[in-house]
Amino acid sequence: MAQQINAVELQQRLQRGDVINLLDVREAIEYHTFNIGGKNMPVNKLEHNINNLSYNKTDEIIVICSAGIRSQTAQAILAENGFTNVLNLRGGLKALQKLNIK
């Protein structure tokens, strides 16, 4: 079972000012339209550019996308390449945005 983080937990960590390694795997246009920070590496480019990531394989990395589907794929790619502490944002940025609407 892939490790996940929910929107509430991520929002709390962001509000506390925790240092978080965010990897946004949406396309560049989506990232530039709206993002919460982190590194942007579209999921379709991740496998070929994995060595360009500045993360250690044991670092906690939270992978995000719009709805949590592409980030799940990215999580699997990272795991296959030896990254051991990768969390997927369940529900993606849409879930995070819903919290801020309330």
Instruction: Confirm if 66 and 44 have CB atoms less than 8 A apart.
Output: no
| Token digits of residue 65 | 């996308």
pLDDT per residue as tens digits for the range 30-68: 999 999 999 999 999 999 999 999 999 999 999 999 999
Q: At residue 1, does pLDDT exceed 70?
A: no
* Structural domains for the chain: 4-101 (3.40.250.10)
* pLDDT given for residue 24 in this prediction: 98
pLDDT per residue as tens digits for the range 58-102: 999 999 999 999 999 999 999 999 999 999 999 999 999 999 765
Mean pLDDT for the chain overall: 95
